[in-house]
Chains A and B, each alone.
Chain A
Amino acid sequence: MNIAVPSEKLKPADFASDQEVRWCPGCGDYAILKAVQRTLPDLDTPKEKYVFVSGIGCSSRFPYYMSTYGFHTIHGRAPAFATGIKITNPDLDVWMVTGDGDGFSIGGNHMLHVLRRNVNIQILLCNNEIYGLTKGQYSPTSEIGLRTPSSPTGSVDRPLKPLVFTLGAGARFAARGYDTQKTLPEILKRAHAHQGTSMVEILQNCIVYNDAVFDNVLARNVAADKQVHVQHGHPLIFGADKNMGIRLNTNTLTLEAVTIGENGVTEDDILVHDEKNRSLATMLAEMDGDELPVAMGVLFCDPAETYENGITQQMDAAQDATTPSIDALLRKGPTWRV
């Protein structure tokens, strides 16, 4: 073994594999790939410990483009593979990359269970509200009425909100960002630091089949009014003039957008973000840019024991208790000699 010990800090380019990236020109996945490659050098993990696991779909080609260990698995099942990997070797730094169809349609069941179990992995959900690889059918996050080859008269399927699902499943970390967001690496670092399943929904543009689907939230001219970037301990203030805020209507137990200085609203009325408050996080996750802005950043982070730690502790306890011998085991219980 002649392993070159890197004397210098790894660079983003060190995480790019020698494989040609084959997403459509202009795909949001390029930006997400770059964000991940910019994030990893700043983490305290040796390169050989990274494992990228994916299912099937455009975003699931992700592992091939990383010069880490990678496993491109089958449609919807990446959470189960990631769980097996993490239980087997908790030292590995497991990242799962999935899409809205892979993660929440065919893989909805596995997603539910990996989130509730709290396996310590990072999930990057590239949500483009469409099926790209199968050429443009509506997905479980598509809006009602979307016309696609499989819904020529408009989809009647009600869309699922991935972060509401995530919080409902009992996950301990939920965050949202978007593909070209300059601060996406900061969100990814928070996800990585969290011990447990970290769900990061990344709004991702599909330039071919669902172009500009998030423009009502992400377009330069509306971004300030349609996004609220949440930060633990800080008031939920947004708007081009930083004079809009989110207030809890105590009569309806719902959130509402208010303008500071209008109708007697003061800064004291604005909710302060508490990332340990699951109820607040769920209400923030519901906000869709219609009446209320879309929440970006870490909506929820409340660590709890991880699944693999639970297993490891039981294993350690069992192994402390006895010196195992398979031959002794075979001879335990009623035996007789002939």
Chain B
Amino acid sequence: MNELTIKSGPNSSDRKEVPSVVIRFAGDSGDGIQITGSRFTDTTALVGNDLATFPDFPAEIRAPIGTTFGVSAFQINFGSRRIETHGDVPDVLVALNPAALMVNIARLKTGGTIIVDSGTFTDRNLKKAGYLENPLEDGSLDGFSVLKIDIAKLVLEAVKEFGLSQKEGLRCKNFWVLGLIFWIYGRSRQNTVDWLNKKFASRPEIANANIAALNAGHVFGEVSELGDGIELYSIPAAEMPPGLYRTITGGEALAWGLVAGAELADLRIFFGSYPITPASPVLHSLAKMKQFGVKTFQAEDEIAAICSAIGASYAGALGITSSSGPGIALKGEAIGLAISTELPLIIVNSQRAGPSTGLPTKTEQSDLYQAVYGRNADAPLVVLASRSPADCFDVAIEACRLAAKYMTPVMLLTDGYIGNAAEPWLIPTVADKKPFPVNRDIDPEGFLPFARDPATLARPWAVPGTPGLEHRIGGIEKEVGSGNISYEPANHQEMTDIRRNKILGIAKDIPAQIVESGDETGDLAVVGWGSTYGPISRAVNNKLAEGKNVSHIHIRHIWPFPENLETLLRGFKKVIVPEMNDGQLKTVLRDQFLIDAKPVNKVTGQPFKITEIEDAIDLALES
């Protein structure tokens, strides 16, 4: 089947040109929904559409088949215009069982398209999903275009020549669906065929069966009358800055950014981590990068993970650890030690919904307090936040620069949404970036482990193995300069002041805060941080198009804030702060600047919709 000549799509004249489409794939967590989504993403990227994705899966690896809590979904927004979010409301819902329909139907756009595997709408499955009547028959889907296909039956027919068991055959269902969707949106199958051949190189019968299913889905589209209201579409390539592109997830971008940053600092990476959702992809990515001198250590727990990273920094590497909120909580004491001993350290926090275990696969931005304030005693560090998958790369480099230059821990905030989502990325060239090598040539003459660079207030990084610099560090308060143990009251005051001033002084070394869109002063500033960038950006631009006086400010450097941030915020009559938490950045802004920042909060485990931000803007402007 590999040799099958793949026909190109239909003439574009047969197709309705649309600027963007949102598709949501949904099925059981064993249906391969995430694979379907990521294959569609890659293919869509290759034709030059801009896109944003939202993998939305349950915490259970395999919930009982057919139940609502086992529903896995993948949403993609793609188009010929600039795409900033994964889309408020899907145009198309693919539901591979009744539970997937039940969970996702409320999101679908009025008049949208539903594609269902009708064979799964049995009495048993309907009951499991909580339906009293069959929604395909009771008229409840009137108003949508519904395409009912007995996909399971068609798949088994398509793959029967490969001698798979029924179970294995049904596993190809997701590729059948993908083939159909490819037909509807005029996509080539070649990239997916290549991917399957590579993925299942050692089991060609599986590759061939999936390819057969993919082709069968496509052919089904070609030969069937798809039904009322279901058209074929084309989405032209987006206008994007010229250059070489790829798709990237936040987890990959972060890992690669750390490696790039370490290279620019002329340091080796040591990454100590303990698996936790949704932080693990960073560990997985870095574990594959030994050729870059990256050492990864899967520790026995979160505490060992950070302690090993601090030990590595002490020994001269750039120590990095990564976790999510509950794991960061466990690392708290060690973060204090790294602050006290003034060693470079990067702590990546892939935030998730909480408190405690919370909703481990759902996204939130609720670790801002933990990052800024969440340690015993006066323990300042640098806090950075990435705003999108590709942005993780740049923020990771910035974290490396600040950690090494200022001999300080840096908390890098990302979240489950950014980490798993993908977007097209104009590939940068690291070789063109300005290096920031660490200077560790230290003369034993007059060496003091807690001497200070007058410009940065950083202490020297005296690495074990260097003759003549033998010294002791630890968590007990250090005498100014010598670093010897000191219980002197005035010394503790002075060291506390130094630690604070060192971090606050970094404000002089970071870019000034810019306004993303809108004027530098005006009626309303919408201030955001992290993964709310997409919806805030689109909402503010929509409101600007309506002639509203509103600006978007998105903060990357959260501690310390850029020097001009206060002045900038004071130039607006009102400030609102949309956050996926109960008002954390709002509190810090009020605390630092005594301004009346108003919260706009959402803690549902789901990202903001553009309309929700638009409503908040309207409300703020009217009140």
Which A residues form the contact surface with B (CB < 8 A)?
1-4, 17, 19, 46-51, 53, 63-64, 66-74, 77, 79-85, 87-89, 91-92, 109-110, 112-113, 311, 314-315, 317-319, 321-322, 324, 326-327, 329-331, 333-338
7 tightest CB-CB pairs across the interface, nearest first?
Answer: A72-B474, A84-B311, A84-B308, A318-B290, A80-B307, A81-B311, A70-B472
Is B111 an interface position by the 8 A CB rule?
no
Complex A-B: 13 CB contacts under 8 Å: A3-B468, A17-B472, A73-B475, A77-B334, A80-B311, A84-B310, A88-B312, A322-B291, A330-B246, A331-B427, A334-B46, A337-B243, A338-B243
Complex contacts, B191 vs chain A, CB 8 Å: 334
The answer to whether B445 and A335 have CB atoms under 8 Å apart is: no
- Chain B hits for A68, CB < 8 A: 470
Q: Is residue B529 within 8 Å, beta carbon to beta carbon, of the partner chain?
A: no
Least distance between A213 CB and chain B CB atoms (Å): 28
Contact code string B420-442 (vs A, CB < 8 Å = 1, else 0)? 00000001111100000000010
Question: B139 to chain A: closest CB distance in Å?
Answer: 44
CA distance A318 to B291 in the complex (A): 5
The reply to whether B48 and A92 form a contact with Cβ atoms under 8 Å apart is no
- For the A-B complex, the count of residue pairs with Cβ-Cβ distances under 8 Å equals 207
Assuming A51-B464, A84-B311, A326-B430, is B474 touching A73 (CB within 8 A)?
A: yes
Q: Is A46 touching B467 in the complex (CB atoms < 8 A)?
A: yes
A174 to chain B, nearest CB (A): 20
Which residues of chain B (212-259) have a CB below 8 Å from chain A? 237, 240-247, 256, 259
B430 close to A327 (CB less than 8 A) = yes
CB-CB nearest in chain B for A4 = B468
In whole angstroms, how far apart are the Cα atoms of A19 and B484 in the complex? 8
A-binding segment of B295-303, B363-371, B547-555: B295-303
Please give the distance in Å from B154's CB to the nearest CB on chain A: 29
Q: Which residue on chain A has the smallest CB distance to residue B432?
A: A327
Query: Is B105 close to A, CB under 8 A?
Result: no
Identify B315's interface contact among A1, A89, A314, A331, CB under 8 A.
Answer: A89
Identify 13 new A-B residue pairs, CB closer than 8 A, beyond the known A85-B312, A326-B292, A338-B240: A2-B444, A69-B471, A70-B474, A71-B311, A74-B337, A84-B314, A88-B268, A88-B315, A92-B465, A311-B295, A315-B290, A336-B245, A338-B237
Q: How far is B314's CA from A88's CA once the two chains are assembled, in angstroms?
A: 9
Would A64 and B472 be within 8 Å (CB), given that A87-B308, A334-B246 are in contact? yes
Contact of A315 with B444 in the complex, beta carbons under 8 Å: no
C-alpha spacing A335/B270, complex, angstroms? 29
Shortest CB-to-CB span from B283 to chain A, Å, is 15
Residues on B with C-beta less than 8 A from A79 are 304
Residues of B within 8 A of A84 (CB): 270, 272, 297, 307-312, 314-315, 319
The answer to whether B464 touches A92 (Cβ under 8 A) is: yes
Chain A nearest Cβ from B254, distance in angstroms: 13
Measured CB to CB, the nearest residue on chain B to A335 is: B246
Q: Which residues of chain A have C-beta atoms less than 8 A from B268's C-beta?
A: 88
Known contacts A51-B464, A70-B473; A314/B303 CB under 8 A: no
Tell whether B443 is near chain A: CB-to-CB under 8 Å: yes
Question: Does B263 sit within 8 A of A, measured CB to CB?
Answer: yes
B307 and A91 form a contact (CB under 8 A): no
Q: Is there an interface contact between A81 and B430, defined as CB atoms closer than 8 Å?
A: no
* Given A89-B315, A338-B242: A49 in contact with B465 (beta carbons within 8 A): yes
**In the complex, what's the smallest C-beta–C-beta distance from A115 to chain B, in angstroms?**
11
Bound Cα distance A217, B482 (Å): 43
Do B291 and A319 have beta carbons less than 8 Å apart? yes
Q: Are A64 and B485 in contact (CB under 8 A)?
A: yes
- Alpha-carbon distance between A160 and B314 when the two chains are bound, in angstroms: 33
Residue among A68, A71, A110 with the highest chain B CB neighbour number at 10 A: A71
Decide: A335 and B464 in contact? CB cutoff 8 A: no
Do A74 and B243 contact each other (CB < 8 Å), given the known contacts A88-B317, A92-B464? Answer: no
Q: How far is the CA of A77 from the CA of B256 in the complex (A)?
A: 29
- Neighbouring B residues of A64 by C-beta, 8 Å: 472, 474, 485
Output the residue of A70, A88, A113, A334 with the most chain B CB within 10 A.
Answer: A88
- With the chains together, A68 CA to B240 CA distance in Å? 57
A residues in contact with B256, CB < 8 Å: 326, 329-330
Q: Enumerate chain B residues within 8 angstroms of A89, measured Cβ to Cβ.
A: 315-316, 464-465
CB-CB < 8 A to B337: which residues of A?
A: 73-74
Among A19, A48, A315, point to the contact of B464 (Cβ < 8 A). Answer: A48
Q: Report B-chain residues with C-beta under 8 Å of the C-beta of A329.
A: 256, 259, 289, 292
Contact A48 B466 (CB under 8 A): yes
Closest to A78 in B: B307
Closest to A90 in B: B315
Which B residue sits closest to A91, measured CB to CB?
B465
Inter-chain contact B314/A81, CB cutoff 8 Å: yes
Q: Which of A1, A85, A110 contacts B314 (CB 8 A)?
A: A85
Contact A330 B243 (CB under 8 A): no
CB pair A74–B475 under 8 Å, yes or no, is yes
Instruction: Kindly state the separation between the CA atoms of A337 and B246 in the bound complex, as whole angstroms.
Output: 9
Q: Which of B244, B263, B316 meets A337, CB within 8 Å?
A: B244
Closest A residue to B471 using CB positions? A69
Are A326 and B260 interface neighbours, CB within 8 A? yes
| Per-residue A-contact encoding for B333-368, CB less than 8 Å = 1, 0 else | 110010001000000000000000000000000000
Residues of A within 8 A of B6 (CB): none
A330 & B300 in contact (Cβ 8 Å cutoff): no
Residue of B nearest to A89 (CB): B315
CB closest chain-B residue, reference A1: B443
A residues near B514, Cβ cutoff 8 Å: none
> Which of A1, A67, A72, A334 contacts B473 (CB under 8 A)?
A72
Q: Given A85-B315, A335-B427, A338-B242, decide whether A314 and B290 contact each other with a Cβ distance below 8 A.
A: yes
B21 to chain A, nearest CB (A): 19
Q: Chain A's nearest CB lies how many Å from the CB of B331? A: 11
With a cutoff of 8 Å between Cβ atoms, the chain A residues found around residue B304 in the complex are 77, 79-80, 83, 109-110, 113
